[in-house]
Amino acid sequence: MSKPVVLLGHGDHALVLRALIRAQGRDLVGVLTPDLPAGSLWQGVPVLGGDEWLDHPQARAHDFALGLGRMPGQPPLRQQVFAKLRARGLATPPWIHPAAWVDPSARLADGVQIMAGAVVQVAAVLAENVLINTGAQVDHHGQIGAHVHVAPGAVLCGSVQLGEGVFVGAGAVLIQGITVGAGAEIAAGATIYRSVPPGVRWIPGRAPIGLSQHETGV
């Protein structure tokens, strides 16, 4: 029998994950957030407390789902909270919406999230805490580094490699074999036909903008 689920966060991404957990028929028993009072309800789900609850003796009896998204320019909170789960050895299984397609040969590490309508093709490898958002596509042999966010509707053609912490904006298209360096951010709607160096914000028709380690989290 599967464990009851605890969700971290109470924003928009948490709402989408709550829907995923429901669609899986799993039992969502609590939410962790420092921003709402313990004992209150969020979307009908009890708020258990903040991150300190991760040290609760009952924590190990649960599966955890990380309900924090990550947008360009935001601090890498998603990485930091995931690290707290890892440090405590708490269970963060992959979360796959029933309306996504993940080929059985794909390899998904802990905490990977595949949202509704997304496709992960043959021999793709997704490292921990990767988020493949609604309707995005990772084609065959894609190699996706830890903590990457592929935003809704983006298309990664075959054998694309993304370094740790990369953000791919909504609807961007990366042609086959492209490499994107760690921490880079690709603008929504961009067409990427050459590899992108690490740690830059890439907007079509503009010189790449350097990002600090504080911004990229890697």
Query: Which residues contact ligand COA by CB under 6 A?
Result: 71-72, 133, 151-152, 169-170, 185, 187-189, 201, 203-204
Q: Which CB, 191 or 213, lies closer to ligand COA?
A: 191
> Which residues have CB under 8 Å from 117's CB, separation 6+?
97, 99, 100, 134, 135
Q: Exposure pattern of 124-142 as b/e (b: 16+ CB <10 Å)?
A: bbbbbbbbbbbbbbbbbbb
In the complex, minimum distance from the CB of residue 69 to ligand COA, in angstroms, rounded to a whole number:
6
Residue 47, Cβ density class (10 Å: 0-12 exposed, 13-18 middle, ≥19 buried): buried
Q: Which of 158, 195, 192 has the alpha carbon at shortest distance from 172? A: 192
Q: Which CB, 87 or 212, lies closer to ligand COA?
A: 212
In the complex, minimum distance from the CB of residue 21 to ligand COA, in angstroms, rounded to a whole number:
19
In the complex, minimum distance from the CB of residue 38 to ligand COA, in angstroms, rounded to a whole number:
29
Q: Which CB, 96 or 187, lies closer to ligand COA?
A: 187
In the complex, minimum distance from the CB of residue 53 to ligand COA, in angstroms, rounded to a whole number:
27
Q: At 28, phi and psi to the nearest 5? A: -85, 115
Q: Which CB, 47 or 65, lies closer to ligand COA?
A: 65
Q: Which CB, 4 or 72, lies closer to ligand COA?
A: 72
In the complex, minimum distance from the CB of residue 216 to ligand COA, in angstroms, rounded to a whole number:
12
Q: Which long-range contacts (CB under 8 A, 24 or more apart) does 122-130 make?
A: 127/164, 128/82, 128/86, 128/92, 129/66, 129/78, 129/79, 129/82, 129/92
Amino acid, single-letter form, for residue 54 = L
